[in-house]
Structure 1
Amino acid sequence: MPLLSYCIDEFLEFKRAQRLSRWTLLDYETVLRRFNREIGDFDIDHIERKTIAHYLASLDLSKKRVKNIYTALSSLWTWAVEMGYCTVHIIRQIKPPKPEKRPILPFTRDQIMNMLASTDASKEYTRPGKRACRNRLKTGVRDRAIILLLLDTGIRASELCGIKVKDIKPHGIYIHGKGSKDRLVPISETTRSALCDYIGEQKDIEKYVFKTEQGNVLSRDALRLIIRRIGDRAGVNDAHPHRFRHTFAINFLRNGGDVFTLQAILGHETLDMVRRYLAIAQTDINGVHQRASPVKVWGL
């Protein structure tokens, strides 16, 4: 039977042939290479269930991340069994971890306004004998476009990083989603204008729209850092790209959008996550009704 390292190489090649997104491929490779380093290089069919269970238990990561690692390992073993490299799918003998359901906390309007106002300049600072001042940031136009696009569409971090110039169309943006599933997502005129302002100031823009200050294609980690720094300057705690997705979804429903359109825009295969957003929006609607109902207000 082949070694684990050989199987990982072949599995990744198999996944590349499936035309998965570069972020999905990178995640597979990161997870599996680390697993290989940690447990050693053995014949894949000789790796025991307790070895994998011990590895998963040793990870000091969130439950959601451990579940993702479990899924990647399961995918590897599924492929290995199909190829005849393994006789037993031992991952299925391990109960998958249940990810915790984190509370969904959207940004408020004031937080968004403060973040937009914090894209152009650094935090205020004071030098000895000088007045307090702020430095103008070169990335202000880019960062404003990023915030508006995330808020206007609810797209994922990886989807924003993967936007190419050719994806921007008159009626929206083609988003390259999970599982190589593309969808056309509409954008507002305000967001389109912000994007045009950013693209217009780029001298060497070619394939991908969003770049770092060094001219490299923006990665998910770089995007998270950008949003965190903007949040820090704006006094907004726990600012991260996915929180914009929550904010878009909940406000879309609060403002009269329907769940099926929201599902299509977000690129969800099922309504499960959309129902969580709907529950939050419905709570908000119920609260407003209690305050605004004529029966309540008129004391009938």
Structure 2
Amino acid sequence: MASRWNKDLTWNDVTPKAAFLNRRQIMAGAVGLGAASIAGPALSQELEPNSFEDITSYNNFYEFGTGKSDPAKNAHALDTLDWKITVDGMVDNAGEYTFAELIEGLTEEERIYRFRCVEAWAMIVPWNGVELGGILNKIGVQSGAKYVAFETAVQPENMIGVQRRVLDFPYREGLRLDEAMHPLTLMATGIYGEPMPNQNGAPMRLVVPWKYGFKSIKSIVRITLTDQEPPTSWNMQNAREYGFYSNVNPQVSHPRWSQASHRLIGGGLFNRREDTLMFNGYETEVASLYDGMDLSEKF
């Protein structure tokens, strides 16, 4: 189902499927995946898809190792059968849900979103999924809840990165409740009309298109409603570099590079750069969420 939130983006703008799944190929030597995927501006041209080998052999998901080819080698071990999501905290309908139960009765949509990574690369991605707000309404958010916290699966027997403790697992993320309820915020279950690949966060991941990509947590197994700001993995790892909000903001540089522009994925290492838009081009829709906030302090 098409969506009003696609705005001016069409399939002509979409980053080729090959380039999306191979997005790390140009990032050798850059910061790792945890500070990885978020959205960016529309492409102005069609790009030549990468090979099937590129698609399946170059990706990042720290639970499966830190090397660029590790997820392709190891993510097949992710056990997504009988996937369960624990819902707890300040909710009316706490419990353990299957993937199907959690999204049952909700309308699946196709959303073509800009996707901007904190590492200053960008793409356009056609996601499939349901609005996170629909899930939250279904589980019944209690009065007083202010935040939504998420956790990624930990399968030590299947995840070599977990075995090696390359991060403080489980991977954790969080949103303010009004951010989570915003109709742009998607619980994605697929890309290009196909189920979510393991290395991209099967069977379900968050997509928040106005924030840097590491906020879009993968392979979710826990959703918690709370009245306290939850800890988030990259903020815990380095609070100076990765704030809780992590809104795309070209005026606030990362301590080690500018965020004023980004490189579009799919055109090779020397592809041209484009100016980064405030809130990744979704300023009209989401700026009011941050009225009165100093976004250089609350980065």
Larger Rg: 1
**Structure (1/2) with the larger helix percentage:** 1
Q: TM-score, normalised by structure 1?
A: 0.24
Higher relative strand content? 2
